[in-house]
């Protein structure tokens, strides 16, 4: 029995499946390469930084003060202490306000125009470049309040930088608390605040902590606002709350700008210290997330 | 599911009998509200500080004086019978009150010495009212800020054209987006549609790490590792160049583009994909013809957000792109060439802010005020982009039932 073609070959649909699947495989490979290309570049760069900086990472790197004349003996003592002080103060100031704002927006705020304005405002604050916060700090804390370029002014500036980050993270973890918790608490006659403080917050704490740690790693690496506030100085003493200060990324920034090779090595060593601190912070965030995430899920 | 009638409001009702508890609740609520309102104060503070000094810039005496000098020059030049383009050229010389300026103007006008010009200028300065001076300062500064094509406020011969800085910012952003858009989108597609759950949970945090690395570290990479490679290919390129800064910034922005795009892709309903598969489409065809169009609003929003990050980035460009505002040359073609050539050192708006901050400009000086004029421009640019990003992602979202 012969099959007679209904139409000529040209108008018949030809799926060309093998060709299309081959194109698909190529596309998948391209996507994969696009994903890992940046990571490979990063690994190569990291390798170079580590091979350059590790030999310089001796006792001096941690315990010596910075030096403009003798980069081989210089270290990050003052900037490390400065970084830690700024970080601690920043978190102490930003965390209560951030969590408070998050609680208000998630638990109290009515659905109205004012709430939408608050939300829009926070979303915009998160997008403001950190250098602009630096200018706010310079104009407000350093000049208008008359604090001068001291640790406290730097920390206040940095607190404003990370405030939106903390609010967004805290809101997300408060929103993830099951509604049934609140209903059960109200059902037992608890007031609104009792419900929040005894049931909502304990459940949300791991998420808030994770968000705070991520905000901390942003605060420790971000140098631009502190540069504008005036955090790039040579100090040969441990900073106090009201003394001038410098931070790790700013000393790295300064070292990169120097022509001598010894300064570049110092910068590499500083970058390693900074990256290790960040690694610890992120590991802590991941640990907290994994450790507490499913605690309440039955 | 049955709806519970127990609400926070009914609890408040029940508290009527306990005024102490009720008062405490109200106080706590007020404290929380204050925390939220604090954020509005932060925005207001930014706007206030930036515009306060920014307004001082646009009404500075420096510009009033240069406006008056222009007037004096114009009067003298027209009296001497000059007109047309010659007149305009001379008026353009009248920018500040340095002796050099007076003598260079006087040279061009017949029968006028620097002393005559200075006398006319001082006369005008005394006779002009304060209000008119303010107006002159405003028009003069706006003109010079937006219409001049050179940026040298830290030199003796000051020029205040913002465009070279905006140009630098745009060019660095363009180079970085040329890296971040393709890589970010390919990453989003691979992670959300190809990768197994295991690979996804491994790769996604790794990609996010790119955004967590301090920008000064990227600056170090760009300056010490990428620039030498670029110089070995293009020996004429300077060590500080836009290309190396832009490439590294692109790597930094990949997670910004990819993570929001992943969310957008995941929001495309499963049924749409299934329908396309049922019609016989291959996976690539589904991705390119169905998923991508459906996720466009989120993807565009992520790209705008990425640009906004690139515009605001400071340390990386300060370290790697140099401090030299681009100069355009005299001809049209040289200007175009200068504007788009990434193999040169180019200051951005943020790099200028960092430069002034490093130089410790005294408060009240015109340099200090330019800092805030540039900061205000930067703030407005990034805010416009953030609002646009939010608008795009909500307004153009494809809604599927």
- The CATH number assigned to the domain holding A150 equals 1.10.3720.10
User: Same structural domain for residues A192 and A83?
Assistant: yes
Q: Which residue of B has its CA nearest to A123?
A: B386
Assigned domain for B153 exists: no
Domain end, chosen from A7, A32, A56, is at A56
User: Does the residue B158 lie in any domain?
Assistant: no
Q: Is B229 on the interface with A (CB under 8 A)?
A: no
Range of the domain at B14: 9-58
SS3 A75: coil
Give B33→chain A minimum CA distance, Å. Answer: 6
pLDDT in tens, A94-117: 999 999 999 999 999 988 999 999
Distance between CA A256 and CA B322 in Å, rounded?
A: 13
Q: What is the mean pLDDT of residues A47-68?
A: 84
The residue of A127, A130, A189, A197 whose CB has the most chain B CBs within 10 angstroms, and thus the best one to mutate to test that interface, is: A127
Which of A27, A38, A135 comes nearest B375 by C-beta?
A: A135
Q: Any idea which residue has 């996720």 for tokens? A: B295
What percentage of chain B exceeds 90 in pLDDT?
45
CA distances to A65, A175, B120, B125, B201 from B130, rounded to whole Å, are 53, 57, 18, 10, 66
* Average confidence score pLDDT of chain A: 87
Question: Are residue A25 and residue A96 in the same domain, yes or no?
Answer: no
A254 and A146 housed in the same domain: yes
Residues A244 and A200 in one domain: yes
Q: Using one digit for the tens of pLDDT, what is the confidence trace for B124-174?
A: 888 888 888 888 889 888 888 888 888 888 887 888 889 999 999 999 999
CA distance B121 to B71: 8
B30 at A interface, C-beta within 8 A: no
pLDDT at residue B44, as a whole number: 94
- Tens digit of each residue's pLDDT (9 = 90 or more) over B260-288: 999 999 989 999 999 999 998 999 999 99
Domain co-membership, B107 together with B47: no
Q: Are residues B183 and B220 in the same domain?
A: yes
In Å, how far is A33's CA from the nearest CA of chain B?
Answer: 8
Rounded Cα–Cα distance for residues B306 and B299 (Å): 10
Whether A33 and A69 share a structural domain: no
A41 vs B contacts (CB less than 8 Å): 251
The reply to whether B107 and B188 lie within a common domain is: no
Same domain, residue pair B304 and B373: yes
Is A259 part of the contact surface with chain B (CB cutoff 8 Å)?
A: no
- Residues B303 and B257 both lie in one domain: yes
Give yes or no: residues A242 and A273 share one domain: yes
Number of domains forming the structure of chain B:
3
Whole-number CA gyration radius for chain A: 27
Question: Are B127 and B255 part of one and the same domain?
Answer: no
* Nearby residues of A265 by Cβ (< 8 Å), 6 or more positions away: A52, A53, A55, A56, A71
Using alpha carbons, select from A57, A164, A186 the residue that is nearest to residue A118: A164
At A297 the three-state DSSP class reads coil
- Asked, for residue B362, whether it belongs to a domain, the answer is yes
Nearest to A139 among B53, B183, B283 (CB): B53
Residues A26, A112 share a domain:
no
Same domain, B383 and B267: yes
The tens digit of pLDDT for each residue in B347-371 reads 999 999 998 888 767 777 888 889 9
Identify whether residues B359 and B381 lie together within a single domain.
Answer: yes
pLDDT band at A84 (very low <50, low <70, confident <90, very high): very high
Regarding whether A27 and A125 lie in a shared domain, the answer is no
Residues spanned by the domain of A48? 18-56
Q: Could you tell me if B72 and B52 lie in one domain?
A: no
- Statement to judge: residues A110 and A45 lie in one domain: no
CA B211, B214, B215, B219 dihedral sign is negative
Instruction: Judge if A42 and A92 occupy the same domain.
Output: no
State whether A137 and A284 are in the same domain.
yes
Say whether residue B1 is in contact with chain A using an 8 A CB cutoff: no
Give B77's pLDDT tier (boundaries 50, 70, 90): confident
Within a domain: B2: no
How many whole angstroms from its chain centre is CA B38? 25
Same domain as B256, residue B376: yes
Go through chain B and tell me how many residues it has: 401
Together in a domain, B96 and B36: no
3-state secondary structure chain B: CCCCCCCHHHHHHHHHHCHHHHHHHHHHHHHHHHHHHHHHHHHHHHHHHHHHHHHHHHCCHHHHHHHHHHHHHHHHHHHCCCCHHHHHHHHHHCCCCCHHHHHHHHHHCCCCCHHHHHHHHHHHHHHCCHHHHHHHHHHHHHHHHHHCCCECCCCCCCCECCHHHHHHHHHHHHHHHHHHHHHHHHHHHHHHHHCCHHHHHHHHHHHHHHHHCCHHHHHHHHHHHHHHHHHHHCCCCCCCCHHHHHHHHHHHHHHHHHHHHHHHHHCCCHHHHHHHHHCCCCHHHHHHHHHHHHCHHHHHHHHHHHHHHHHHCCHHHHHHCCCCCCCCCCCHHHHHHHHHCCCCCCCCHHHHHHHHHHHCCCCCCHHHHHHHHHHHHHHHHHHHHHHHHHHHHHHCCCCCC
Q: Which is nearest to B117 in space by CA: B156, B71, B84, B82?
A: B71
Choose the closest CB to B11 out of A34, A38, A191.
A191
Domain count, chain A: 2
Determine whether the interchain pair B15/A191 forms a contact, defined as Cβ–Cβ distance below 8 Å.
Answer: yes
Q: Is residue A2 part of a domain?
A: no
Q: Alpha-carbon distance B285 to B93, whole Å?
A: 62
3-state secondary structure A172-190: HHHHCCCHHHHHHHHHCCC
ipTM of the predicted structure? 0.88
B4 within some domain: no
**Average pLDDT of every residue of chain B:** 87
The C-alpha atoms of residue B369 and residue A116 are separated, in whole angstroms, by 34
Q: Choosing among A15, A18, A30, A38, which should be mutated to test the B contact, i.e. which has the most B CBs within 10 A?
A: A38
Q: Determine, yes or no, domain membership for A258.
A: yes
Task: Please report whether residue A137 resides in a domain.
Answer: yes
CB within 8 Å of chain A, chain B residues 154-193: 182-183, 185-187, 189-191
Q: In this predicted structure, which of A56-60, B7-11, B35-39, B158-162 has the lowest mean pLDDT?
A: B7-11
| Contacts (Cβ under 8 Å, ≥6 apart) of A255 | A71, A263, A264, A266, A267, A270
Closest CA to B158 of B132, B172, B175, B140: B140
User: Is residue B248 domain-resident?
Assistant: yes
**B113 and B169 part of one domain:** no
Residue B168 corresponds to which tokens in the numbers above?
């630098």
Q: Are both A171 and A201 inside the same structural domain?
A: yes
Q: Which chain B residues are within 8 Å of A107, Cβ to Cβ? A: 32
Judge whether residue B380 has pLDDT over 80. yes
Assigned domain for B372 exists: yes
Res. A133: pLDDT tops 50: yes
**Domain end position, chosen among B119, B147, B175:** B147
Whether B382 and A127 lie within 8 Å, measured CB to CB = yes
Which of residues 122 through 141 in chain A touch B, CB cutoff 8 A? 122-125, 127-136, 138-140
- The answer to whether B357 contacts A98, with C-beta atoms less than 8 Å apart, is no
Cross-chain Cβ contact B42/A108 below 8 Å: no
Residues 6 or more apart in contact with residue A42 via CB below 8 angstroms: B209, B210, B213, B251
The helix/strand/coil state of A241 is coil
**Where residue B382 sits, what CATH number does that domain have?**
1.10.3720.10
Choose the final residue of a domain: B92, B116, B147. B147
Please report whether residue A7 resides in a domain: no
Global pTM reads 0.88
Nearest CB to B25 within list A135, A186, A193: A193
The residues, ordered by sequence, that sit 6+ positions from B144 with a Cβ below 8 Å of its Cβ are: B63, B66, B95, B159, B160, B161
């Amino acid at each position: 029995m012969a099959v007679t073609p209904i139409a000529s070959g040209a108008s018949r649909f030809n799926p060309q499946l093998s060709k299309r699947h081959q194109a698909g495989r190529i596309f998948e490979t391209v996507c994969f390469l696009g994903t890992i290309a940046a990571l490979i570049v990063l690994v190569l760069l990291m390798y170079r930084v580590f091979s350059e900086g590790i030999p310089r990472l001796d006792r001096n790197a941690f315990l010596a003060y910075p030096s403009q004349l003798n980069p081989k003996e210089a270290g990050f003592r003052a900037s490390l202490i400065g970084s830690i002080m700024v970080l601690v103060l920043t978190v102490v100031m930003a965390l209560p306000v951030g969590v408070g704002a998050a609680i208000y927006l998630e638990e109290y705020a009515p659905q109205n125009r004012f709430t939408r304005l608050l939300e829009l405002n926070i979303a915009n604050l998160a997008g403001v470049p950190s250098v602009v916060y630096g200018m706010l700090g310079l104009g407000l804390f350093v000049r208008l309040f008359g604090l001068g370029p001291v640790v406290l002014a730097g920390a206040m500036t940095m607190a404003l930088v990370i405030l939106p980050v903390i609010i967004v993270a805290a809101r997300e973890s408060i929103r993830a608390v099951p509604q049934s918790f609140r209903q059960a608490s109200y059902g037992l006659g608890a007031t609104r605040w009792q419900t929040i403080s005894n049931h909502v917050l304990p459940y949300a704490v791991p998420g808030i902590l994770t968000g705070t740690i991520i905000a901390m790693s942003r605060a420790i690496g971000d140098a631009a606002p502190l540069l504008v506030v005036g955090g790039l100085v040579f100090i040969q003493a441990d900073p106090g709350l009201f003394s001038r200060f410098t931070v790790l990324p700013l000393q790295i920034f300064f070292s990169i700008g120097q022509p001598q090779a010894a300064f570049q090595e110092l910068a590499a060593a500083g970058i390693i210290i900074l990256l290790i601190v960040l690694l610890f912070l992120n590991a802590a965030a991941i640990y907290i997330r994994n450790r507490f995430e499913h605690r309440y899920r039955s | 599911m049955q709806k519970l009638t127990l609400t926070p409001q009914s609890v408040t009702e029940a508290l009527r009998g306990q005024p102490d508890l009720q008062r405490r609740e109200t106080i706590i609520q007020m404290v929380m509200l204050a925390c939220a309102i604090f954020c509005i104060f932060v925005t207001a503070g930014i706007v206030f500080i930036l515009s306060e000094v920014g307004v001082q810039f646009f009404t500075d005496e420096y510009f009033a004086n240069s406006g008056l000098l222009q007037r004096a020059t114009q009067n003298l030049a027209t009296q001497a019978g000059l007109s047309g383009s010659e007149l305009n050229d001379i008026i353009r010389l009248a920018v500040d009150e340095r002796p050099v300026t007076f003598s260079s103007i006087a040279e061009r006008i017949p029968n006028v010495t620097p002393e005559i010009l200075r006398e006319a200028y001082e006369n005008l300065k005394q006779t002009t009212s304060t209000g008119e001076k303010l107006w002159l300062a405003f028009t003069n500064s706006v003109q010079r800020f937006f219409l001049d094509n050179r940026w040298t406020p830290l030199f003796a011969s000051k020029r205040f054209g913002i465009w070279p800085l905006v140009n630098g910012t745009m060019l660095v952003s363009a180079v970085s987006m040329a890296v971040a858009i393709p890589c970010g989108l390919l990453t989003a597609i691979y992670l959300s549609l190809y990768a197994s759950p295991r690979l996804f949970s491994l790769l996604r945090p790794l990609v996010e790490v790119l955004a967590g690395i301090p920008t000064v570290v990227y600056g170090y990479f760009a300056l010490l590792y990428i620039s030498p490679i670029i110089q070995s290919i293009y020996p004429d390129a300077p060590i500080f160049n836009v290309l190396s800064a832009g490439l590294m910034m692109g790597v930094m922005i990949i997670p910004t583009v990819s993570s929001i795009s992943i969310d957008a892709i995941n929001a495309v309903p499963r049924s749409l994909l299934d329908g396309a598969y049922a019609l016989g489409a291959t996976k690539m065809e589904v991705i390119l013809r169905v998923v991508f169009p459906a996720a466009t609003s989120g993807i565009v929003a992520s790209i705008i957000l990425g640009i906004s990050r690139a515009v605001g980035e400071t340390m990386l460009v300060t370290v790697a792109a140099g401090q030299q505002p681009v100069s355009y040359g005299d001809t049209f073609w040289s200007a175009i060439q200068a504007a788009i050539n990434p193999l040169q050192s180019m200051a951005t708006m943020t790099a200028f802010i960092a430069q002034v901050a490093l130089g410790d400009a005294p408060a009240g000086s015109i340099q200090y005020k330019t800092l805030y004029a540039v900061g205000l421009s930067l703030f407005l640019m990034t805010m416009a982009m953030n609002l646009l990003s939010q608008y795009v992602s909500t307004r153009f979202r494809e809604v599927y039932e």
